[in-house]
Structures are given as C-alpha cells and as structure tokens.
A and B are shown apart, each in its own frame.
Chain A
Amino acid sequence: MVGARAWVLCRLVAVAAFVAVPRVALAGLDPSHAQADVRAAAEERGYPFCSNPRTPLSMHARDLCPQAAEIPGCTGFARACGEQDLERLAWMNKLLRAIAAVVPDFLKTLFRDLWRVIFWVFVGGLVLAILVPAVRALGRARRDPAPPPGDREEKAPPVETLPEGIGEEDLLDLADSHARRGDNAAALQLYLAASLRALDRRGAVRLAKDRTNGEYLRSCAEESTRPDLREIVREVDRVQFGHAPAGGDAVARTARLAAGIVRFLPVLLLVLGLPAVLGCGGFELPKPGDDPAGDELFRDLLRKQGVQVVSLAYSLDSLPLPAQSDDDGDETPALVIDVERTPLDDDTRAHLSAWVHAGGVLVLAGQPSLWPGDLGAEADGASSHGVTARPLSDEPGGEKLEHAELAIPEALRFTGSSARVAWYDDETTYAAEASVGDGHVLGIATDELMTNAGLSRPGNAAALVAILTNANRATFQVARPEDGISPPSSPVATMVRAGLGPALGHALVAAVLLFVAAGVRLSRPRPVPPPERRAFAEHVEAVGALYARTRSAPHALAAYARFAEERLRARMPRGAGDVAAFLAARSGLSVEACHRLWTRATGAASLGEPKGRPAGDELVVLGELAAACAAALAQDK
C-alpha cells in the first residue's frame, strides 16, 4: 500500500516536473494563428479534399461526414457525403470496426500484406511483360547495328544455320527480316518455328526432330491456339512440299498468327490486367490532399507554425533510444504517431514503450486499444462533441483555452496518473499527458484533429495546436504508415512476415512437383533400359525344364562351365591361364575352393558323352559356380 502511494506520488511529481520545465520550445506552436495557417496551407497547396474529394469516400472519411457542412467552402465533400447512404454506411462502419476489433492483428497484417504482394507481383509482371521485349529489342539493336539500307536484306542469316537455343522472339524477328527480303518460304518456316518454340516453352507441345507438323498440331494442348497453328502449318506445307508460291498476303497473315501465338502471355496479361488496374468505370490516380481523412494539412500546419517536421530515419521498431541527458542542448524530437494510419505490430509497440521509458516524448492519436499496452491507456465513451483544449503556458492559470467540435465522440483515460490536456463538455478526457519512465506520452483519443477535414473546421486547428504545445518540443517526427512494421531481415522473412510462409512452402512443394512432372523430361535423356523380355525368361525356364525332364544335370553343368570359361577368359590378363585362380581373385573365394569347384564343373559330362550317371551334386555345383561367376563379373559393370 505504501509502495503504491509512493509510485503515484512519483508519477505526480514527474508530471509536475514536466509541466514545470522551461518553455523554450513553445516559441513555435501558437494556437492563435493556427486556423489562419490551415487556411493558407489549403490555398497554397490547392488540396481538393473539400472541392473534389476522392470517391468513393474511405471509411475514415465517412466518419468525418458530420463535419462537412460545418467547413466553409467544403461543398464537394458535403456533396460526396450526401451521395452516400450515411445511415447504412455508418452502420457498416460500425460493423467493420467491430470486425476489425475482433480480428487478430496478425490476420489484418496478413490480408493487407497479401493484397500488397498480389498487387505488386501483378504490377511487376505487367512491367516485365512490357519491358522485357523492349529491352531485348534494344539489346539486339545495340548488338546488331542496323546495316546500311542497301545490304540490310542480304545480311539475314539462312534458316538452315540457325543457332541453337534461339528464342521465339528472335525467330520472329528473323522471319520478318526474311519476309522483308522477299524470301517468303523461309519466312513461313521461321514463323512456324517461332510458334512451335513458344508452344514448347509453354508446355503445349514437345519439340522433337522426328515430329511432323501434323503431330504438333494434333498434340497441341492449347485448344484455343490450335486453329491458328493449323493455318500456319497448312501454309508452310503448301509452300514447302507443294511448291506453291508464297504470297505476301499469306506471309502477312502467318506473321500475324505466329505473333499471336508467341506473344500470347503478354497479351493475355494486358487483356486481363488493364481492366483490373483501370477498373470498369475508369481509373483516377489519387492526388495529394484529395482525401478528407488525409494528414497533409496536419503536416503543413506544423510547418506553418514554425516547428521543424522531420521524417523518421528508422522504422519505429528500430528507433534509437534517446540519450539519458541532453547535455549538448539537443532535445529528442517528439514522435507523433497516428495509430489509425500507422499500424503497430507487437515488436514495435514494445520498442516504443522502451523508447518512452528511456526519455522519449510520444504523441499518440487514435484508438487507445492500439497503443502499447503498458502505457495504461483505455478507450472511454463521450456523450458530447465539444472539446476544450488547454495549451501549455508559462503562467499557470493564464492559458487561453481553445474549443473544437468533433464528429467522433470518443474519449480515453489513463489507468495511472496523468494530466488532462483536452476534455469534452461532459468532462471525459479527450487528450491527456502521462509520464512513463523518463519520458512522456501525450495521448489523443481520436486522430480526427489531424485529418484534413477535421482541421478545416473553424476552431479545431487551434485546439490541436493547443494540445500539441503540451509535448513541449520544437521538433516533431511524424510517422508514416509503413514505419509501424519492423523491417524484415531477408526476402524470406518478408514473405513470412506477410503471412505467406505457408504459401511459400506450398509454392516450393508445387515447384518440386512441377519439376518432377514436367521438368524431368526436359533433362538430358537417359538410355531407357530395355523392357523385361518375358520370352527370353520363358526360354530359359523351358530349357531348364527340359534338362530336368531328361535328367541332364551333368550336361547343364558342363554347358554352364563352358559359358563361364569363355566369359572369364575374355577378362583374364594376357598370359594368364589358370581360370580357377582368376575366379578366386575376382570373386573373393579361396583358391582351393575355386579349384575344387572348377575341376568339378569342367569334369561334368556333356550330353552324348558316355561318362557315367549323374553324381547328384551337379545343380549345387552349378549354383555355387554361378554365384562365384556373378561376383567375378560384377566388377566389370
């Protein structure tokens, strides 16, 4: 209990000390001309959020619609708000917010990043589809400088000497050059070759020297391409084998068909991609300041107020901790984060908390539930829209209060000690200041006052400036939307961070399967082992059965011994004559065993030799000899 009281006392002292510090930084922020600054910035920059806002209005902008009529000259925004079914949209907004509150952060991050990845992959693909042919064409033009017009056509290489691995685009170019030269027959061949090369690359046909044009046509897996390929093949065959004249029209038509086959993918991408990018109802690039919920005016206001606005040199996750003492006179800039605009992940929240504890001054705006948890801020409800803000003043009690009107009545409260900076008419807190460790947090319940529309309402700019004076800094760092996510350490980490880890794994598995299914056949061909010859096996079995029926085991052994001798002698070194010794050396058996085996085998009687009856061990000996021979001959494989 005593400890808790001491802790509360310490916090109060710290707040009082912060409030009582010298007001050197207040020279910049002055609520009295804040509204004039906002008006001047809007006029200078010509922000269209009032006259011609971006439609459809964003969810955040729709929240600000109640203010639209209160902003002088903001007819466009008011009209855009009027065109929307505000009641339904308000209900939808609430629903979406509720869903957003329920959905875990990692899922939000996943969906957002997934969308970004898809979008940028698509954009990248589109750019590549356009750039690659252009760059290759440029490369070719640089590599092969254009010959003088007189001998340009004679330089086209003959089709019989095409280099290996020439691409389909190069083949098309080559065909065009032959067509220009008037060598239409060769041009037709090259158009066909380019088409087949492209289809082979897409896996629709398999190029092989023994395949005929008809076989390519019948095996083409792209049904939509087959009619075009058929026309090309018909024309080529007519000219090559039918010796029909190749007319210019036929060549032009073939060229068009071949180009359609070769450039199928880029064209498909363009056809599919353009409507997706441009949208069915037209596409308009976002312009600066066209979003009523944007923060352009807020940044301009700070500059007009004379304070320094700097960008972050680091992500919020890796922000250097402020120095313990500012002996050199440099003060750490106040860090302004609109959590509605700059989502914070868990690591970033933890680091921000440490940064504040180390002495940083943090201005947080937006839903308190999204702030670092250990700051002790909670969301609270408010019943009024009017807000009174108290600026920081050198003379306690002498400050001039500023009044603002808000569209979104949301309040906050700190669980620990804090000093109220702005409050609603119902006395709930709109903005408060709390000491955390060696630093301070200036919390604002909503970011409405930082939006273009929110600042444009008369009185609101002064109230915001009044609130910001409590940060007691002359330099502000304003976080950008992308600053809230800590940077990944590697491309793979990027994918994993975006929630694409499982997808990456699936892609790898798919790549392996694709390789096994399609890539393997593109590898160097290996000699196919001959199929098992059943007939030969049956022949051997039949011979064996014949020997068994005729009780010819001695003959089988003698025949096998002759076969083995022939095989072994073929492998013996020059001058060697002892087959058994060679067999022993190669098979690993002892020399004695091999001699015994060999003597027995070669001594067996063959058919027709009157050498007596079977001894009964022939098959055993044959088996042992076969095993020894197999071991001996296996070394040669």
Chain B
Amino acid sequence: MDSTDPTGFQRTYARMKEQMARVVVGQDALVEGALVAVLARGHVLIEGAPGLGKTLVARALGVVSGCVFKRIQFTPDLMPSDITGSSVYSRETGAFSFVPGPIFAQLLLADEINRAPAKTQSALLEAMQDHQVTVDGTSRPVPSPFVVVATQNPVESHGTYPLPEAQLDRFLFKLTVGDPPVEVERTIVRHHAEGFDPTDLGALQAASSPQEIVAMQRVAQGVRVDEAVIAYMVELVRRTRDDKAIELGASPRASIALMKAAQVVAASDGRAFVTPDDVKPMAAAVLRHRLMLHPDAQLQGVTADERIEDILRSVPVPRLAA
C-alpha cells in the first residue's frame, strides 16, 4: 500500500480510473465523480435515463475498489427491514438473533432509490450520516468504508417517491448522466459486438482494497485548504442563498462537501494543497441537488446547473494580483 501520501494517492487513483475505463466508456465525469465521492467519504446519487451505465459504474466501482458490494433494487413494497435487517426468532436457541440486511456492505448500490416510499428511503439516513444502523434499539456500525451509490430515473415519475430534501442533503454528489456522443455510442456498441458482457466484470481487477481506500480517505482529509480557498468555497455556497431564482440555497453542509471533494481532487493530482481549480469542477455536482428553485424560475425553465454556472461566473477567484 503506497497511498499514504499525495503521490501514492495519485498513483492509486489513476489505477482505479484506468480500470474503470475498461468497462465504462465515455463517462469520464461520472467515473471521476464516483471515485471522488468514495474517497471523500461521501455518497453519490446518479440520475439519468435508463441504459446509460449508471448501474454498471456502481458495480465496476465495487470491483475496482475491492470493497464488499451489495445491491438493493428499490421497489414500492420494499420495507425498511429489508434494508437494515431484522431480529429473527430462532427455534433452536429460543432467542432472537439479528440477521443483517444488505446495508451492511462497504459499497451499497441503491438502484432506483425513488421507487421506494419515504419510510424505506429513510432507512438509509442513519447509515449515511452516522455510519450505523439501529434495529430494535440496538445500534450496529456499518463497515468501513461505507458508500451508498443510489440511482434514479428522472423521466418516469409515475409510482415514484421524490427524495426528501433531508435525504438529498446526505448525498455528497448528484451526478447527472447525459446521452453519450455518437462516437462514444459507436464504441460502446463495438465493444458489445466484440463480446463484452456488462454482467460479467471478471476482466476487472481490484486496484485497491478497503484498507487502502480508508488510507486514501485519510490522505485526502489531510490535504491543506488555504483560507482564501475556504473563503471562495463559502462565498460560492452563500451566493446560492442570495440568488433570487433559488428559494432555498445550499446549507453549510454543502460548503463542507465542496471542501472534501476539492481535497480529493487535489490529492488525485498529487498535491497536498487545494486550489480554486479543484473547487470549480466540483461545484455543480455538490450543489445541484441542494438547491430548491423558485417556482417562477422553474416555470421559466431555469435549471439548478444554470444558476450554479452563473454563480461561478460571479465569484472572483482568490488571487493576489490579476
């Protein structure tokens, strides 16, 4: 394990990215976002139409990171205990024993998370925030690292339960997946024609281990953040609260998330300090699901990404001389 300094971090990160690129074609931003979220101890919500590789990214991430991977397909009849696990009576022992649910994994894929009702979605809240699960009054820690990768489909709104704001805020990133360019799509089809099977990820190798992921998380946490960069990030987040098109801006948790993401980006570049250049690319992914647009703005077709783009343009980058 050599990921105890930014240079080693950079090498391992590059290895993981390279492995991911073997199965995920043309979704660099998605891959990078997922990796950054994992290394920043965050959770990631991936939104995109069906067939764009959301689940594939999550599965590939599980293999590449070497973490214990589990998947939950969210459905309307999914119960919280189906996620957390429950106490089961044992006839032999005459006692109740706890049968852990799939949430006790290091990398949890919550597929189509908005298909389950709010009560079930909330079963994830404690695990995501406090890294523990309480069942029958007993709190049990989830393994470390613990990362939730949730997916949702933005187009089919019938029979779905939009994630509440409190739940959304727990996600470090919301990554959106768009249609791939024509060249990328051709490459994807060519790969399938050559025998690629997305259900078989045996070709992938683990580029790290859970221990190494934890070590990398520590390295990222130790990356220096200058006061000027902190001020820049805070200003970015505060501007979301002053924007007239935004009814509810991002919370201080967003500032923290932005800083954590920037630390990982800096470390992935082999640096032990954060620059504004590490912050800007992360802003949209960190902020877009934390903004509640004003109804008038929504009616006019304004999107959160547009507002974030404008805010980024309006905040000067820290610089002594320009």
Is residue A5 within 8 Å, beta carbon to beta carbon, of the partner chain? no
Is residue B13 within 8 Å, beta carbon to beta carbon, of the partner chain? no
Is residue B317 within 8 Å, beta carbon to beta carbon, of the partner chain? yes
Complex contact A533–B300 (CB within 8 A): yes
Shortest distance from the beta carbon of A76 to any chain B beta carbon, whole Å: 63
Is residue A210 within 8 Å, beta carbon to beta carbon, of the partner chain? yes
Interface string of A524-547 (1 = CB under 8 A from B): 000000100111100100000000
Q: How far is the CA of A303 from the CA of B238 in the complex (A)?
A: 91
Q: How far is the CA of A190 from the CA of B228 in the complex (A)?
A: 18
Is residue B275 within 8 Å, beta carbon to beta carbon, of the partner chain? yes
A574 contacts which chain B residues (CB < 8 A)?
none
Is residue B38 within 8 Å, beta carbon to beta carbon, of the partner chain? no
Contact of A243 among B226, B280, B299 (CB under 8 A): B226
Shortest distance from the beta carbon of A519 to any chain B beta carbon, whole Å: 22
Complex contact B317–A241 (CB within 8 A): no
* Interface-central residue, A193, A240, A241, A533, by most chain B CB under 10 Å: A241
The chain B residue with its CB closest to the CB of A192 is B321
Q: Which of B278-322 contact A (CB under 8 A)?
A: 280, 299-301, 312-317, 319-322
Is residue A214 within 8 Å, beta carbon to beta carbon, of the partner chain? yes
Contact of A211 among B271, B273, B299, B317 (CB under 8 A): B317
Contact of A210 among B271, B316, B320 (CB under 8 A): B316
Shortest distance from the beta carbon of B99 to any chain A beta carbon, whole Å: 49
Shortest distance from the beta carbon of A72 to any chain B beta carbon, whole Å: 74
Complex contact A209–B275 (CB within 8 A): no
Is residue A189 within 8 Å, beta carbon to beta carbon, of the partner chain? yes
Q: How far is the CA of A359 from the CA of B56 in the complex (A)?
A: 103
How many of A's residues come within 8 Å of B, CB to CB? 32
* Contact of A210 with B322 at beta-carbon distance under 8 Å, contacts A241-B226, A242-B272, A539-B299 already known: no
Complex contact B275–A190 (CB within 8 A): no
* Contact of A237 with B299 at beta-carbon distance under 8 Å, contacts A210-B315, A212-B317 already known: no
Contact of A215 among B224, B226, B272, B277 (CB under 8 A): B277
B280 contacts which chain A residues (CB < 8 A)?
212, 215
Q: Is the interface of A mostly helix, strand, loop or mixed?
A: helix
Complex contact A210–B314 (CB within 8 A): yes
Interface string of A236-248 (1 = CB under 8 A from B): 0110111100000
B314 contacts which chain A residues (CB < 8 A)?
210
A160 contacts which chain B residues (CB < 8 A)?
320-321
Is residue B102 within 8 Å, beta carbon to beta carbon, of the partner chain? no
Is residue B276 within 8 Å, beta carbon to beta carbon, of the partner chain? yes
Query: Number of A-B pairs whose CB atoms are under 8 Å?
Result: 77
Interface string of A204-228 (1 = CB under 8 A from B): 0001111111110000000000000
The chain A residue with its CB closest to the CB of B280 is A212
Complex contact A212–B276 (CB within 8 A): yes
Shortest distance from the beta carbon of A462 to any chain B beta carbon, whole Å: 79
Complex contact A213–B320 (CB within 8 A): no
Complex contact A209–B317 (CB within 8 A): yes
Q: How far is the CA of A160 from the CA of B314 in the complex (A)?
A: 20
Shortest distance from the beta carbon of A83 to any chain B beta carbon, whole Å: 62
Interface string of A141-169 (1 = CB under 8 A from B): 00000000000000000011010000000
B316 contacts which chain A residues (CB < 8 A)?
209-210
Shortest distance from the beta carbon of B186 to any chain A beta carbon, whole Å: 27
Q: How far is the CA of A481 from the CA of B208 in the complex (A)?
A: 84
B105 contacts which chain A residues (CB < 8 A)?
none
* Contact of A189 with B320 at beta-carbon distance under 8 Å, contacts A210-B313, A214-B277, A241-B274 already known: yes
A208 contacts which chain B residues (CB < 8 A)?
313
5 contacts between A and B (CB under 8 A): A160-B320, A209-B322, A210-B313, A214-B277, A241-B228
Shortest distance from the beta carbon of A525 to any chain B beta carbon, whole Å: 11
B319 contacts which chain A residues (CB < 8 A)?
189, 193
Complex contact B312–A237 (CB within 8 A): no
A238 contacts which chain B residues (CB < 8 A)?
273
Interface string of B76-111 (1 = CB under 8 A from A): 000000000000000000000000000000000000
Interface string of A85-106 (1 = CB under 8 A from B): 0000000000000000000000
Q: How far is the CA of A215 from the CA of B279 in the complex (A)?
A: 12
Is residue B229 within 8 Å, beta carbon to beta carbon, of the partner chain? yes
Q: How far is the CA of A240 from the CA of B226 in the complex (A)?
A: 8
The chain B residue with its CB closest to the CB of A162 is B321
Complex contact A237–B275 (CB within 8 A): yes
* Contact of A535 with B299 at beta-carbon distance under 8 Å, contacts A211-B317, A212-B280 already known: yes
Complex contact B320–A240 (CB within 8 A): yes
The chain B residue with its CB closest to the CB of A535 is B301
A534 contacts which chain B residues (CB < 8 A)?
301
Shortest distance from the beta carbon of B9 to any chain A beta carbon, whole Å: 15
* Interface-central residue, B274, B299, B300, B301, by most chain A CB under 10 Å: B301
Interface string of A172-214 (1 = CB under 8 A from B): 0000000000000110011011001000000000011111111
A210 contacts which chain B residues (CB < 8 A)?
312-317
Is residue A232 within 8 Å, beta carbon to beta carbon, of the partner chain? no
Q: How far is the CA of A534 from the CA of B302 in the complex (A)?
A: 11
Interface string of B209-243 (1 = CB under 8 A from A): 00000000000000010101100000000000000
The chain B residue with its CB closest to the CB of A534 is B301
The chain B residue with its CB closest to the CB of A530 is B300
Is residue A171 within 8 Å, beta carbon to beta carbon, of the partner chain? yes
* Interface-central residue, B276, B312, B313, by most chain A CB under 10 Å: B276
Q: How far is the CA of A31 from the CA of B274 in the complex (A)?
A: 94
Contact of B275 among A189, A211, A213 (CB under 8 A): A213
B317 contacts which chain A residues (CB < 8 A)?
209-212
B321 contacts which chain A residues (CB < 8 A)?
159-160, 162, 171, 186, 189-190, 192-193
Q: How far is the CA of A530 from the CA of B299 in the complex (A)?
A: 14
The chain A residue with its CB closest to the CB of B225 is A241
A530 contacts which chain B residues (CB < 8 A)?
300
The chain B residue with its CB closest to the CB of A190 is B321
